[in-house]
Structure formats: structure tokens, C-alpha cells
Structure 1
Amino acid sequence: MRTKIILFITLLLSLNILVGQSRLERKQLKEEKSQKEYLQVKEVIESDTYEFNIVWVLPMGGTSINVNGDGYLVKITSDSIQTYLPYFGRVYSGVGYGTESGISFESELEDFQVTVNDDKKKIEIGLTTNTTNENIEMVITIFKNGSCHITLQSMHRSTISYSGKLVSKTLLL
């Protein structure tokens, strides 16, 4: 009887070691996948032409609004930006009331800065641009899996945020 108990305990311990190795292997595979995704995202950002499809609008003091599939985007090239974004918030002065149904413009980039943080596996883009009516500041944070968070500030509107996904023909996330 004692040998059966020892054999059973030995079997359980060896099974536990096998399961433990499997967890370690899964963790390593997950880390490798994460690193591969991050390198793809980094490569797209270095290509100087990319766009972000907007999925959620996050107005200040309001509830999140799903706009997936409505075609809202931010497109950045090496010297310009094109946006087609919804706006839900307070408009102060200087912007024609009722003339636009969101934030839609195409203009040159003035203050453009890309900060890469390899430790946290995220990229931050800061930019400033002028439209005919207002000066707009944007901060775009891109995470390792290609998801992004965009914060838009203007002197004439309340701050608004968007979340979405980085898209590119070469990105396979």
C-alpha cells in the first residue's frame, strides 16, 4: 500500500512539472507574439504613412460612443494630416456653429514628434496643426497590439478622446 501511495505522489509531482513547463512555454510564446506585433507597429510608424480607424469616441463628461464602421479616421503622412472625426462636446467661440458636423480637415503638420518607448512597448505621437478656424493639438498613443488612444485639444472646443486601431497594408495584426 505504501508503494502505491509513493508511486501516486511521484506521478502527481511529475505531472505538475509538465504542466509548469507548459505554462512557461505559453508565457514565452505570448511574449514572442507581443514583441512581433510591437515590431510590426513600429515599422509602420517609421514608414511615415499610416492611418487610424476610430472605433470609440470618448467625450469629456459623456458616455462612450461606438462608431465602428462609420469611416472615421486620422491619416498621417510625412508632412500632412487628414482627419474625419465626429465631435460630441461643447464648442466655445471662433468655430462656426452648425457649419461642420465634426472635426474634418486636411493640413500640414507643424510640430510633429514621435517618442518610442521600447520598455513599455508603446509609441507616442504629438502634433500641432492649424486649420482655417482653430489650432489643434493631438496626442496619439499607440500600443504594442496596434490599438491607439487619441486625445484632441483645441482652444475652441472641449477636449475629446478617441480609441481605435492602427491600419496599414503591411500590418497583419
Structure 2
Amino acid sequence: MKRIIFILAIALLMMGCASTQNAATTQAEIEQKINEQRYTFVAQSVVPTEDSRFNPRLMFPQGNNLYQLTSRYDLKVTPDSVTAYLPFFGRAFTAPLDPTKGGIQFTSTKFTYKKNIRKNNFHITILPQDVSEIQSIYLTISPSGYGSVQITSTNRTPISYHGIIETP
């Protein structure tokens, strides 16, 4: 019986070491992909700047301004393009001409990309130059792969997303 407990303890210890090694590999992969500008931010929740109790047209519970997303929405970053497919909850000052173009959807091929590291987090600023409605995109990415995105638009109120970073 003591031998079985000892073997189980060794096995659990080895699995713990393996998961620590996998976490380090993940952190190295994330850092490499951020440096290469090849990653995808997958939004899991959204935080509009306006509270829903001030806008009765929004069909969300009053007083709660963090909404979990049930579909896949993302922001893909590559060295030659930034592609966004994200939902929008908030106030839009102009309506889109095409009703299928709701949310924040764009592809930018001309943009500036600046990366800083502060307190072990990556702070990335993307300024699209060929998409007139998007002023700036700010990403904050932790070494473990969690991140947030803030988008400032010319025709809409600012909005934030929280999610994870996927590396292809």
C-alpha cells in the first residue's frame, strides 16, 4: 500500500512539472508571436462604455456592463494586415449604409504597430491609416496569454474586450 501511494505521489509530481514546462512554452510562444506580429485575439467578453440603464434600447440587464460572448469574435494581427470581426454595444453616431456591416468589421493593410513591455505585459498600439472610422486599437497582453483590447472610433463610443491570445 505504501508503495502504491509513493508511486502515485511521484506520478503527480511529474505531471505538475510537465504542466509548468507547458506554461513556460506557452509564454515563450506568445512572446514570439507578438514579436512576429502573428496572433489572434479571441474576445470572450465585452465592456461597453455606456451603462445599459441609460440606454433602454439595449436588451441587457440594467446595471451590468460586462457581457459574455457566446459566438467567436476576433482581431487577427499579421505583419501585413489587421482584421477585426468584433461586436459593438454602445452608441453609434452614424448608422452604416449596409445593414450587414454591424459591429466592428474592417481590414487594414496600412497601419503603425508599436510594442512596449511594462510590468511583464505587452502594450501594443495599432493605428490604422486606411480605415477612417477606427482611430486606435490598444492591446494589453499578459505573458500567460490573457488580453484586453480597447477600440476608439470616430463614429462610436469607445469599447473594450477581454479574451485570450491564440497562436496559429
> Structure 2 length normalisation: TM-score?
0.71
Report the CA distance shift for 1:98/1:64 in structure 2 as closer, same or farther (over 3 A): farther
Tell me the secondary structure at the aligned position of residue 30 of structure 2. helix
Counterparts in 2 of 1:15-164, with a 5 A limit? 37-62=26-51, 63-68=65-70, 70-93=71-94, 96=96, 99=99, 100-117=101-118, 120-130=119-129, 133-164=132-163
Which portions of structure 1, spanning 4 or more consecutive aligned residues, are displaced by more than 6 angstroms? 30-34
Maintained 8 Å contact 2:30/2:145: yes
Q: Residue 74 of structure 1: CA displacement? A: 0.2
Larger radius of gyration: 1
> Which amino acid in structure 2 is aligned with residue 89 of structure 1?
G
> Structure 1 length normalisation: TM-score?
0.69
Report the CA distance shift for 1:168/1:36 in structure 2 as closer, same or farther (over 3 A): closer
Deviations 1:33-69 (A, max 9, x none): 876553332112122211111100110133111114x
Identical aligned pairs, as a percentage?
A: 24
Deviations 1:3-46 (A, max 9, x none): xxxxxxxxxxxxxxxxxxxxxxxxxxx99887655333211212
Maintained 8 Å contact 2:44/2:161: yes
Maintained 8 Å contact 2:108/2:131: no
Give the root-mean-square deviation of aligned CA atoms.
2.6
Tell me the secondary structure at the aligned position of residue 164 of structure 2. strand
Q: Residue 121 of structure 1: CA displacement? A: 1.5
> Which amino acid in structure 1 is aligned with residue 69 of structure 2?
V
Mark the runs of 5 or more structure 1 residues left unpaired by the alignment.
1-29
Deviations 1:54-92 (A, max 9, x none): 100110133111114x12000000021001000001111
Aligned length: 138
Maintained 8 Å contact 1:38/1:121: no
Maintained 8 Å contact 2:109/2:130: no
Tell me the secondary structure at the aligned position of residue 144 of structure 1. coil
Deviations 1:123-149 (A, max 9, x none): 011011145551330000001210001
